[in-house]
Structure 1
Amino acid sequence: MITPSLDALRTALHLLGVSVWIGGQIVLAGIVPVLRTTAPDALGAVARAFAKLAWPMFLLIVLTGIWGYVDIDAPTKSSAYTITFGVKMLLVAVTAIASLVHAQGTSRAAKAIGGAASLVSALGAAWLGVLLAHPT
């Protein structure tokens, strides 16, 4: 059996956070339209329940991301790696800001644009994370 390492633990925790953050948004994208027609009063409670799970997972993503960055030897990385990492960090910031716009927005447009921008930027950050883990 392969011996577990702290790097493996960090990666597993990072993936757990990403799974809940992105997966939850995808699930809600399917559930919210149904709730709007069948149980509109439940929308707020569902959103608050998701936020109680999602934001701690976002914090986990950030903390394990910092841990991972500290563990790499950044000065030895290629310029392509560094640029990819920078774009990923930009997308992480966009997903956080867009999520806040979605959560705090009072108009349907703010909620829709914030939610869509959060999901798209999170998916982009996840893709860049895969590229960083498997550079060619």
Structure 2
Amino acid sequence: MISPTLDSLRVFLHLMAVAVWVGGQIVLAGLVPTIRVAAPEALPKVAQAFSRVAWPAMIVIVFTGAWGLGVVDAADAGTKYMTTFAIKMLLVFVAIAATVIHSQGTSKAAKAIGGAFGLLGSLLAAYAGILLAHVG
């Protein structure tokens, strides 16, 4: 068996948290239309329940991402790697900001636009992470 390391633990935690954050958004996008019709009064409770899982996952994402950056030698990483990393951080910021707008917004537009940009930012940040993993 391959020996586990702190690095493998960091990557595992990061990927599990990303799965919760991004996967949860995708699952909710599929469930919300049905909940809206079948039990609209349950929608706020469903959103709150997801938040109790999703936001701690985002904290794990940020923590393990910072931890991972700490093990990368920026001088050896190269310009393309660091540019991709910077874009990923921008996308994470967009995902977080849009999700906050979605969560706190009261208008249908804020909910819709915040949700769409939150998911899009999350998906693109995850893809940027894949690019970094294949180069780094």
- Which whole-Å CA distance do the structure 2 matches of 1:70 and 1:78 have between them? 15
**1:130 — aligned with what?**
130
Task: Map 1:1-136 onto structure 2 (within 5 A).
Answer: 1-135=1-135
**CA displacement 1:81-109 (0-9 Å, x = unmatched):** 11100000000000000000000000011
Q: Which runs of 4+ in 1 moved over 3 A?
A: none
| TM-score of the two chains, using structure 2 as the length reference | 0.98
Q: Which runs of 5+ in 2 are unaligned?
A: none
Q: Which runs of 5+ in 1 are unaligned?
A: none
**CA displacement 1:53-96 (0-9 Å, x = unmatched):** 00000000000000000011112111111110000000000000
- Which whole-Å CA distance do the structure 1 matches of 2:75 and 2:47 have between them? 42
- Which whole-Å CA distance do the structure 2 matches of 1:93 and 1:132 have between them? 17
- Which whole-Å CA distance do the structure 2 matches of 1:74 and 1:63 have between them? 18
- Which whole-Å CA distance do the structure 2 matches of 1:28 and 1:67 have between them? 29
- Which whole-Å CA distance do the structure 1 matches of 2:33 and 2:74 have between them? 44
CA RMSD of aligned residues (A): 0.9
Calculate percent identity across the aligned residue pairs. Answer: 55
